Amino acid sequence: MRNPLLIGLIVYAVLLAGAFTGWKLRDRLPAHFLTEETKSLVNMSTAIVATISALVLGLLISNANTMFTRLSGDVTALSAEILRLDRILTRYGSATGEARETLREYAENKAADLFPDHSADVRLANPATYQHFQELQDMLLALKPDNSRDKWWLAQAMILTAKIGDARWLMAQEVGEGTPKAFVALLVVWLVLLFASFGLFAPHNNIAALVLALSALAVAGAVAMFLELEQGFGQVIRISPEPMQKMVRSLQVDQRASNAP
């Protein structure tokens, strides 16, 4: 996964460099280059670029928030489907005891894959975890229903395993659908031009320098935020692990109750 915080710091440094370049360029340009007519033209041109940049940045943040919400919903749905599968296997009978144990192990491993202690360790498609899931499917296929009731429960269980399997691939694909790098680079170029124009006509005092620095920080933070949001499992903004944790705790409690004498 790319590091949005590092990208945000790079964008901040580039924007400051653009503003500082415009600031220094003002001292080197002849006076007739900095007339009111020139300033008016620069202001109108940068207003157009600023409007486009604001629209694009707002669109990217909205799109990233939509992706984050969708990923959060996928995690909640996965948790509910695993719990539902466990309840169905319980209704089927004691023949599914080993399958339920495998399901619990899969759930614990999946929760650890999605929500590790360090965000860099997130594994959306861990082969070892998926191996547990395939073992579960094999166990269900080996069941021999004795009556129509058991056949119905088994059919429902197989439908849920298909949904759970699809969720694994779906989340992996959604996280990979990030904003194209070329598009982010183009947005940064527009922002650099804006800050260079700000620096070109800014007065040389500490207040102006502070305002430019804070403005660059705010814009770089917005870029980092939408990159972080679209990942879903980022370092600062992360999907809530609570649905998965509740599901795992529920399975563990049920397993202990089932194994109790």
Average of per-residue pLDDT across 138-162: 91
The 10 Å Cβ neighbour count of residue 125 is: 13
Structural domain total, the chain: 1
Task: Give the mean model confidence (pLDDT) for residues 169-182.
Answer: 75
Position 259 pLDDT exceeds 70? no
Determine the distance from the C-alpha atom of residue 231 to the mean position of all C-alpha atoms in its chain, rounded to a whole number.
2
Residue 63 has pLDDT above 60, yes or no: yes
Selection from 40-44, 112-116, 199-203 with the highest mean pLDDT: 112-116
Residue 137 CA: distances (Å) to CA of 83, 93, 234, 250: 16, 17, 31, 21
CA dihedral sign of residues 242, 112, 60, 66? negative
pTM tops 0.75: yes
For residues 34 and 26, is the Cβ–Cβ distance under 8 A?
yes
Average pLDDT, the chain: 86
What pLDDT does 237 receive?
Answer: 81
Q: For residues 46 and 194, is the Cβ–Cβ distance under 8 A? A: yes
Indicate whether 1 pLDDT > 60. Answer: no
Q: pLDDT for 229-238, tens place per residue?
A: 888 787 778 8
The whole-number average pLDDT for the span 44-48 is: 86
Cα dihedral 155, 248, 2, 62 sign = positive
Residue 57 is part of which domain span?
Answer: 4-259
